[in-house]
Amino acid sequence: MNRALAGVESVLELIGGTPLVRLTSIERRAGSGAEVWAKCEFANPGGSVKDRAAAQMIKDALEDGRLGAGKTLIDATSGNTGVAYSMIGAALGIPVTLVMPENVSLARKQITRAYGAEIVFSSPMEGSDGAILLARRLVAEAPDRYFYSDQYANEANPKAHYLGTGQEIIDVLGDRLSHFVAGLGTCGTVMGTGRRLKEHRADIQVVAVEPDDALHGLEGLKHLPSSPVPAIWRPEGIVDRRLPMPTEEAWDLAEALVAEEGLFVGHSAGAAVAGALSIAREAGPKACVVTILPDRGDRYFGPQKWERPYVW
pLDDT, tens digit, 9 for 90 and up, residues 251-280 = 999 999 999 999 999 999 999 999 999 999
Rounded CA separation 13/91 (Å): 11
Q: What is the sign, positive or negative, of the torsion defined by CA atoms of 290, 211, 105, 56? A: positive
Strands (E), the chain: 20-22, 35-40, 72-76, 96-101, 118-122, 146-148, 179-183, 205-211, 241-245, 288-293
Condensed to tens digits (0 to 9), the pLDDT of residues 150-206 reads: 999 999 999 999 999 999 999 999 999 999 999 999 999 999 999 999 999 999 999
Rounded CA separation 243/102 (Å): 29
Neighbour count for residue 24 (Cβ, 10 Å): 12
Same domain, 59 and 139: yes
Catalytic residues, by residue number, are 50
Of the residues 148, 173, 196, the one at which a domain ends: 148
Same domain, 175 and 103: no
Rounded CA separation 24/307 (Å): 41
pLDDT at 246 over 90: yes
Same domain, 31 and 124: no
Specify whether the CB–CB gap between 183 and 209 falls below 8 A: yes
**What pLDDT is stored for residue 304 in this prediction?**
47
pLDDT at 294 over 90: yes
Percent of the chain with pLDDT over 90: 81
- What average pLDDT score do residues 69-92 get? 94
The pTM of the full predicted model, rounded to 2 decimals, is 0.92
Mean pLDDT score of the chain: 93
**Is 298 exposed, middle or buried (CB count within 10 Å of its CB: 0-12, 13-18, 19+)?**
middle
Rounded CA separation 276/266 (Å): 16
Cα–Cα distances (Å) from 143 to 2, 71, 136, 208, 301, in that order, read 43, 10, 10, 35, 35
**What pLDDT is stored for residue 310 in this prediction?**
45
Range of the domain at 21: 3-47+160-299
List all residues 6 or more positions away from 100 whose beta carbon is below 8 Å from its beta carbon. Answer: 76, 77, 78, 79, 82, 108, 109, 119, 120, 121, 122, 131
- Count of structural domains within the chain: 2
Q: What is the sign, positive or negative, of the torsion defined by CA atoms of 131, 133, 135, 137? A: negative
Of the residues 121, 148, 175, the one at which a domain ends: 148
Cα–Cα distances (Å) from 51 to 68, 130, 169, 252, 287, in that order, read 20, 23, 17, 26, 29
Same domain, 42 and 55: no
Specify whether the CB–CB gap between 128 and 154 falls below 8 A: no
Condensed to tens digits (0 to 9), the pLDDT of residues 96-127 reads: 999 998 988 788 888 999 999 999 999 988 87
Residue 94 maps to a domain: yes
pLDDT at 224 over 80: yes
Condensed to tens digits (0 to 9), the pLDDT of residues 49-78 reads: 999 999 999 999 999 999 988 999 999 987
Same domain, 170 and 121: no
Of the residues 107, 128, 148, the one at which a domain ends: 148
Percent of the chain with pLDDT over 70: 95
Residue 154 maps to a domain: no
Same domain, 22 and 123: no
Specify whether the CB–CB gap between 118 and 146 falls below 8 A: no
Rounded CA separation 74/145 (Å): 10
Confidence of residue 210 (pLDDT cuts 50, 70, 90): very high
Confidence of residue 93 (pLDDT cuts 50, 70, 90): very high
Confidence of residue 230 (pLDDT cuts 50, 70, 90): very high
Strands 35-40 and 20-22, how do they pair? antiparallel
**What pLDDT is stored for residue 302 in this prediction?**
59
Rounded CA separation 277/29 (Å): 8
